[in-house]
């Protein structure tokens, strides 16, 4: 049955006043992302344990960096996507709160004899998204220390000067003072900038729906093809090296509404050909969305939610779909 849009929209879908969503197009704006939580992994084997579980290289992660990472089933399907960083004592995984408990539980099952412990550390961290013309100037003299991580993200088609700010809650007052001249906005505005920049995430509605390459994680640097094994590595590598990358994530707009996890249909097809990854209110109304489908269906009319649902108006991705292993 088609996934119909209802009043109860799942996480991964953001509905807001277009005027609020449009603020980052005109001036610096920030949103506190309370829908994200943090898992901390501590112990002598923390990095080695995560390196053997996740798609990216955790062992060589610099303490000043934040990386994108994924966690897969043995069949290569994504269970979660993380913002990942470390300090001298712990490695941190930031992900949607709705996935934190099951992800923590599943990872903990595989610690076995490793000297590593996983805890919910969400209460000690605050994450903010900052975007808009002038945001770079606001952050020019920002201190870089263990309490605060500031990461310049890819620009979108329209959303520019995008930053992810991760800070310990104890340092939040200093952060607020730095942001005094920026506009506070609803989280929907930030997530729209993520969609505009074609940066995906996985939510409860889309768990186990995608192999990493289906949502462009290989292009975005979230998959390291030179590291050792991890759950799903054989599937991910086979897809990469045997020329089977037939499905990719794209950017589109609809005049109506859709939601994360909704089906995408091609004209004349009663069966879905793709899935909505994320969706958010667009500044001009309607919704912008990320969706995945076979590349050979992109020349056909595509519709969200149902065969006669709102039509997808395709937009160019803000980056090239290149092969990082070439």
Residue with tokens 């859709």: 258
What is the C-alpha to C-alpha distance for residues 46 and 44, in angstroms, rounded to an integer? Answer: 6
Classify the C-alpha dihedral 282-298-221-101 as positive or negative. Answer: positive
HEC per residue, 224-274: CCCCCCCCCHHHHHHHHHCCCCCEEEEEEEECCCCCCCCEEEECCCCCCCE
Q: Is 319 left (phi over 0), alpha (psi -120 to 50) or beta?
A: beta
- Ranges of residues in the chain with a pLDDT under 50 are 1-7
Measure the CA–CA gap between 214 and 247, rounded to whole angstroms.
5
pLDDT value at residue 3: 36
Contact status, residue 254 vs residue 171, Cβ threshold 8 Å: no
Q: Is the dihedral of CA 283, 287, 293, 295 positive or negative?
A: negative
Predicted local confidence at residue 265, as pLDDT: 98
Domains of the chain: 24-196 (3.30.1360.120), 200-315 (2.40.30.160)
Name the nearest CA neighbour of 81 among 226, 185, 221.
221
Can you give the length of the chain in residues?
Answer: 326
Closest CA to 192 of 298, 278, 306: 278
311 DSSP assignment: B
pLDDT of residue 241: 84
* Beta-bridge partner residues of 275: 263, 292
């Amino acid at each position: 049955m088609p996934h119909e849009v209802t009043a109860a929209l799942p996480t991964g879908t953001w509905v807001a006043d277009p005027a609020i969503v449009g603020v980052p197009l005109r001036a610096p704006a920030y949103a506190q992302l309370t829908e994200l939580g943090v898992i901390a992994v501590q112990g002598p084997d923390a990095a080695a344990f995560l390196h053997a579980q996740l798609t990216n290289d955790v062992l060589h992660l610099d303490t000043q960096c934040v990386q994108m990472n994924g966690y897969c089933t043995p069949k290569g399907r994504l269970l979660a996507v993380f913002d990942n960083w470390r300090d001298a004592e712990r490695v941190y995984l930031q992900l949607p709160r709705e996935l934190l408990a099951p992800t923590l539980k599943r990872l903990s099952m595989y610690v076995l004899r490793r000297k590593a412990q996983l805890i919910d550390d969400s209460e000690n961290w605050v994450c903010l998204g900052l975007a808009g013309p002038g945001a770079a100037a606001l952050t020019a003299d920002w201190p870089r220390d263990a309490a605060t991580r500031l990461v310049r993200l890819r620009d979108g088609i329209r959303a520019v000067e995008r930053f992810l700010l991760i800070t310990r809650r104890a340092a939040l007052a200093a952060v607020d003072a730095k942001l005094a001249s920026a506009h506070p906005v609803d989280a929907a505005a930030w997530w729209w900038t993520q969609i505009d920049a074609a940066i995906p995430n996985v939510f409860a509605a889309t768990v186990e729906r995608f192999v990493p390459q289906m949502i462009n994680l290989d292009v975005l640097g979230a998959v390291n093809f030179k590291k050792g094994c991890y759950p799903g590595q054989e599937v991910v590598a086979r897809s990469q090296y045997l020329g089977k990358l037939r499905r990719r994530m794209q950017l589109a707009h609809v005049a109506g509404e859709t939601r994360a996890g909704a089906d995408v249909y091609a004209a004349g097809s009663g069966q879905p050909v793709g899935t909505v990854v994320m969706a958010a209110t667009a500044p001009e109304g309607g919704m912008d969305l990320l969706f995945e489908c076979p590349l050979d269906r992109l020349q056909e009319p595509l519709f969200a939610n149902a065969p006669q649902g709102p039509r997808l108006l395709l937009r160019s991705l803000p980056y090239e779909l290149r092969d990082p292993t070439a």
